[in-house]
Amino acid sequence: MLTAIATMLVPLAVAQNSIVYYVILRICQGISFTICMPTTGAVTSNWASLQQSGLFISTLSSFSQLAAVFTMATSGKLCASNFGWPAVYYLHAGISFIAFTAWVLLYRNQPVEHPLVDQVELEEINRGRSTVTSLSVAKKHQKIPYLAILTTPAIWGVWAAAIGDLMTLQVIHTFSPQYIREILGYSVEHTGFSAALPVLVQFLFKIFAGYTSDKLRILSETMKLRLYNSIALGVSAVFLIILAFLPQGYPLTGIILLTLATSMYGFNGAGFNKVNGLIGEGTIYDWRFIYLLHAFFSLITNVFFCMLAASDVAWWTDDECVKARMRSGDSFWWWKMKT
């Protein structure tokens, strides 16, 4: 609801010629988006079966790709129409309100609470799980182990990979239409579809990655994490480097390379604030610097992820640890010291 209201008010802020109002609205949109991240993890944890967790989270987290595809494909048409650019914001505000209403009416925290989930589905979802309902209730009232989280190397590996992934995707989703129009020479009307194509392919790759991750049995979970993240960040970095040195006058090749670089991030299933200033005058040399910079950070953050990633359950999520801490009421670390 917050993002729907903020999006609807953007044209009004622009009409007032107030950068302050616009920044406040963008902050509200950003706050709304951050909530999607923990929600994705919580829904997957409660609703996905252990055998389908990869496909489930890949599908659930693909909202960013589907939204970008829709936005890029429709925005160019609306901007070139009689409705003008404000229609882009009004349309997205309406869709956000509809999505919010559907979520409130249909979502339940636990499958057992949903009236449309029968016993067969419940057994499928809970098959192989070690936790019980009483423990799940207890976990709701336990203190969050912030110190343990911050001192877990795997957590830092995930954060490093997320920085490399989201930083580059932010640039691609936000500024690829500008690159396609100014460097590749596409018209405004055709820029939208051309920018949406790489993200659409990324969505398909993301679903494929989630499915194959569940079916791949010859590798350990940790090795699969490292493999898929290396494809997402490493291979895409290679295509970004090639794209950086592509001369002007090759629009089709540019779209192909941009599509390959973007689609590889679908294997993440998982810019800088100054990027607008870094782009400068929009010359091919400015874009070369941007793509090389993000390729470098993708490679570096992937190295950190591969070094620190682990599929083992963290000790502070152990069921016995949770029960003991609930009984004791003492500081968190006493359990770790005893074990």
Same domain (yes/no): 217, 146: yes
For residue 97, name the pLDDT band (cuts at 50, 70, 90).
Answer: very high
Same domain (yes/no): 160, 307: yes
Does pLDDT of 170 surpass 80?
no
Same domain (yes/no): 60, 201: no
Same domain (yes/no): 74, 160: no
pLDDT at 239: 87
Please give the Cα distance from 240 to 2 (Å, whole number).
35
Does pLDDT of 307 surpass 50?
yes
Does pLDDT of 177 surpass 60?
yes
Please give the Cα distance from 288 to 38 (Å, whole number).
34
For residue 269, name the pLDDT band (cuts at 50, 70, 90).
Answer: low
Does pLDDT of 258 surpass 70?
yes
In this structure, of 163-172, 190-199, 301-310, the range with the lowest mean pLDDT score is 301-310
Does pLDDT of 205 surpass 50?
yes
113 burial (CB, 10 Å; 0-12 / 13-18 / 19+) is exposed
Given 128, 158, 182, the domain boundary residue is 128
Same domain (yes/no): 43, 148: no
pLDDT at 320: 56
Same domain (yes/no): 105, 155: no
Rounded to an integer, the average pLDDT of 71-83 is: 79
Same domain (yes/no): 150, 76: no
Structural domain containing residue 6: 1-128
H runs (alpha helix) in the chain? 2-15, 19-47, 53-60, 63-80, 86-106, 119-126, 133-140, 146-150, 153-182, 188-215, 221-230, 236-244, 251-264, 275-279, 284-308, 319-328, 333-338
pLDDT at 98: 93
Q: Domain count of the chain?
A: 2
- Give the CA distances from residue 127 to residues 46, 59, 62, 120, 231, in Å, rounded to whole numbers and listed in that order: 12, 21, 25, 11, 31
Please give the Cα distance from 193 to 155 (Å, whole number).
37
Q: What is the CATH classification number for the domain harbouring 316?
A: 1.20.1250
With a pLDDT cut of 70, the percent of the chain lying above it is 78
At residue 224, what is the residue type? K
pLDDT at 318: 59
Residue 89: partners with Cβ closer than 8 Å, 6 or more residues away: 7, 8, 10, 11
pLDDT at 274: 29
For residue 93, name the pLDDT band (cuts at 50, 70, 90).
Answer: very high
User: Model-level pTM?
Assistant: 0.64
pLDDT at 94: 92
Same domain (yes/no): 155, 100: no
pLDDT at 101: 92
Given 102, 128, 154, the domain boundary residue is 128
pLDDT at 335: 39
In this structure, of 159-168, 186-195, 248-257, 325-334, the range with the lowest mean pLDDT score is 325-334
Structural domain contains residue 133:
no
Rounded to an integer, the average pLDDT of 239-264 is: 85
Does pLDDT of 201 surpass 80?
yes
Same domain (yes/no): 156, 124: no
Given 128, 146, 163, the domain boundary residue is 128
pLDDT at 168: 78
pLDDT in tens, 36-75: 877 877 787 788 776 777 777 777 777 877 887 788 778 7
